[in-house]
Structure 1
């Protein structure tokens, strides 16, 4: 006898997977934006705080670290949760997406450790009057952010995910094109920073961020509201 596939159950599972993936994608914005722009800002702008001068940034930085721990969970989830669906189109691309997300999270974790080390040295007074320790830890955070969210994230979400969605038709192709454009642009701008051709946070990098930002946020919202579009790969039996 042939295998009987419950289409209603399959549709329900795909819709649930899409919804969870969408919320996880939105969660990456909810956790990363406050951590970078608000929680870590006092330390990034004032590395001399490590010597004990200025307002105590403990609560702010600790909150940023917690937010980024949840960011790591959400990042990995965006690749692991839909893996079974993505691999129906291309197992190598689905695995590559997971790998790129994990690499991104590795550098995020390095940034978290650098910020928590900053707090520890301030609290213990081990930095003394030498603000260079603070500058070093802030520099480690900045470069880990450049390599992780600034490069591996756009390789994952812009290039790999964008290509997967464009070829599979699981989301509108016009939407996926944003990722195919934004990923290489933002990756190139990060490499330009590495070569000191432009500054981090420059206008050029800001403009390069826009397509990728719109793509990732729109992808998450689309999955929450609409789910995956009908596609031949959804009809294929799971491997």
Structure 2
């Protein structure tokens, strides 16, 4: 198996992991985000910890996609490849910040439960502020930055034909839509978690899942494989030598 094929498999697996971890994390720590009195209630701390673990896996997988694809992307456009890696690192960093905010709400709840703090109103206010902080990180990380990263990757794959252009176009549409949706949320057009927001995120979801399946099943398109490239160079060298003789 060539190094390019291995890269495609690793990247495909990581893209699938990002989707699974993102959905799992959001579902598991949902109580913190939607229960304004979470810090004063019985809590679901174990569930929230599992959600945070999923988010940590998500951050690692996001970083991994950038690192895994870099050797292949660099040969097509080094500047764009570096931009994609840096963008994925930024996206992962924002996700981690959001995780810390969610876990801080759990810390407040435990302090209230242990009697360390008796000012319930202040705890609720602090908890709501941390949730709001998380919501903003969710808007800028898995929306704005994700959209920008998708545009960079899909654009590079479109010009280099690493995957079918129809798939790259799906990524370009998805990246543009999620950036537009994030802008609409930023200016209060609708809530981030809403029907409109979910519909705007569907093309990016479809792009990443389809790209993952493509990379796992067929890898990059013909001509991008190291072995094929080496064979082409050898054939060119042999032809040149024959011409000289």
TM normalised by structure 1 equals 0.89
What root-mean-square deviation, in Å, do the aligned CA atoms of Structure 1 and Structure 2 show? 1.6
Compare CA radii of gyration and give the structure with the larger one: 2
Contact 1:168 1:231 in 2 (8 A): no
Q: Taking structure 1 as reference, are residues 201 and 232 closer, same or farther at Cα in structure 2, changes over 3 Å only?
A: same
Structure 1 residue corresponding to 2:30, chosen from 20, 23, 41: 41
Structure 1 residue corresponding to 2:140, chosen from 143, 147, 155: 147
- 1:125-144 equivalences under 5 Å are 125=112, 126=117, 128-130=119-121, 131-144=124-137
- 1:107-126 equivalences under 5 Å are 107-125=94-112, 126=117
Contact 2:162 2:224 in 1 (8 A): no
1:17-48 Cα offsets, whole Å, 9 max, x none, are: 10001000100011110111x21111111031
- 1:1-239 equivalences under 5 Å are 12-36=2-26, 38-51=27-40, 53=41, 55-125=42-112, 126=117, 128-130=119-121, 131-157=124-150, 159-231=151-223, 235=229
Q: Taking structure 1 as reference, are residues 232 and 39 closer, same or farther at Cα in structure 2, changes over 3 Å only?
A: closer
Q: Is the helix fraction higher in 1 or 2?
A: 2
In 2, the alpha carbon distance for the partners of 1:22 and 1:127 equals 50
Q: Structure 1 runs of 4+ off > 3 angstroms?
A: 231-234
Contact 2:5 2:225 in 1 (8 A): no
How many residue pairs are counted as aligned between the two chains? Answer: 223
TM normalised by structure 2 equals 0.87
Q: Which stretch shifts more, 123-132 or 26-35?
A: 123-132
Contact 1:50 1:127 in 2 (8 A): no
In structure 2, list runs of 5 or more residues that go unmatched: 234-245
